[in-house]
């Protein structure tokens, strides 16, 4: 059974999808506020004083590492909520939302992690050799805790996003669209729209949403062509870890004590377009050769047949 066809498994009425999505949406403000209150309490700030604080003021009071935990905490809850929803609401095997293989292929994950990590590393070396805007920011008092937090929390955060966009939505939407390419585009649009509130959009302008869409489409294509989330999850995880641990700035979504601080003015540079127009196609080509994928048109434009489609709504 192909990855998208696993939408046939378990209980799959539209009510179950609606209930699950409603539950996930409700988790964000509830656990976000809970984490924020706990964070402020830990640093001794009473609720009467922190209600009207800005995010920057809150970050300064908590410290960047605690603020990092507070921001990621809802995603950790969402990850486990998604797992429970697949198992108990949809009554599907948990593995079926990760991959169509008999088990999760960690070799695929680490290959993708390593390849895109190398791309990011080469880009960093070039920037260090040509720009004076990257400043050494190492703080031993905070960095080593950040290292542990990044490798523990960010894989769970990215896993939720992959399960949500390239798993739950991609598999679920195939029931409506039947064409993998259409589901991939729709999941990428949703991924881009839900990132519209990121501070990067304010600083860089709406055109950055095109980059989010391109990233979403790249990861959706990886998932469909490779029949699982392993490659997409490896790419997404190293991207977020790099942004939190290695190179940061004072305006992106992750405000951390990373090793390097970019002090340049916010601007969409050539590096983003090289990633989209050169790196993404090159990575797709490499994975295509390594894993001997079928012809893309055969996979992306085929009509996905699901088990008992006329009886789905009652299950």
- Domain definitions of the chain by residue range: 4-314
Among 33-42, 134-143, 156-165, 195-204, the range scoring the smallest mean pLDDT is 195-204
Contacts of 24 (CB under 8 A, 6+ apart): 78, 81, 82, 85, 164
By C-alpha distance, which of 161, 158, 133, 119 is closest to 241? 158
Percentage, residues of the chain above pLDDT 90: 74
Kindly report, residue by residue over 163-219, the tens digit of the pLDDT: 999 999 999 999 889 999 999 999 999 999 988 878 888 788 878 889 999 999 999
More confident residue, 306 or 294: 294
**pLDDT mean over 241-248:** 94
Query: Residue 308's pLDDT is what?
Result: 58
Greater confidence (265 vs 227) lies with: 227
Q: How far apart are CA 139 and CA 58, in angstroms?
A: 20
| CA dihedral sign, ordered 160, 165, 166, 169 | positive
CA distance 206 to 36: 28
What's the chain's average pLDDT?
91
**pTM of the entire predicted model:** 0.93
* pLDDT at position 311: 44
The mean pLDDT of 50-79, rounded to a whole number, is: 90
Q: Which of 99-103, 109-113, 161-165, 251-255 is predicted with the least confidence, judged by mean pLDDT?
A: 251-255
| Residue 310 pLDDT grade (very low, low, confident, very high; cuts 50, 70, 90) | very low
Model confidence at 313: pLDDT above 70: no
């Amino acid at each position: 059974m192909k990855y998208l066809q696993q939408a046939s498994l378990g209980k799959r009425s539209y009510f179950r999808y609606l209930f699950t999505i409603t539950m996930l949406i409700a988790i964000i403000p509830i656990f976000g506020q809970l984490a924020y209150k706990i964070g402020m309490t830990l640093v001794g700030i009473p609720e009467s004083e922190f209600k009207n604080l800005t995010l920057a003021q809150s970050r300064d009071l908590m410290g960047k590492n605690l603020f990092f935990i507070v921001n990621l905490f809802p995603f950790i809850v969402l990850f486990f909520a998604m797992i429970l929803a697949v198992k108990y609401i949809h009554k599907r095997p948990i593995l079926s939302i990760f991959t169509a293989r008999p088990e999760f292929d960690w070799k695929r994950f680490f290959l993708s992690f390593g390849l895109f990590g190398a791309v990011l590393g080469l880009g960093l070396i070039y920037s260090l050799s040509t720009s004076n805007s990257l400043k050494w920011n190492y703080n031993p008092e905070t960095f080593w805790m950040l290292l542990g937090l990044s490798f523990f929390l960010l894989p769970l955060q990215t896993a939720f996003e992959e399960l949500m966009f390239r798993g739950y939505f991609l598999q679920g939407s195939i029931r409506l669209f039947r064409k993998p390419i259409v589901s991939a585009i729709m999941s990428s649009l949703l991924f881009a729209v839900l990132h519209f509130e990121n501070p990067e959009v304010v600083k860089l302008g709406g055109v950055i949403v095109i980059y989010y869409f391109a990233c979403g489409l790249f990861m959706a294509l990886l998932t469909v062509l490779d029949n699982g989330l392993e490659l997409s999850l490896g790419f997404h995880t190293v991207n977020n870890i790099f942004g939190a641990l290695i190179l940061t700035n004072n305006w992106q979504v992750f405000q951390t004590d990373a090793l390097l601080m970019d002090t340049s003015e916010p601007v969409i540079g050539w590096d983003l377009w090289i990633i989209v127009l050169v790196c993404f196609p090159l990575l797709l080509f490499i994975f295509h050769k390594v894993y001997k994928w079928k012809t893309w048109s055969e996979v992306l434009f085929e009509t996905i047949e699901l088990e008992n489609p006329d009886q789905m709504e009652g299950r």
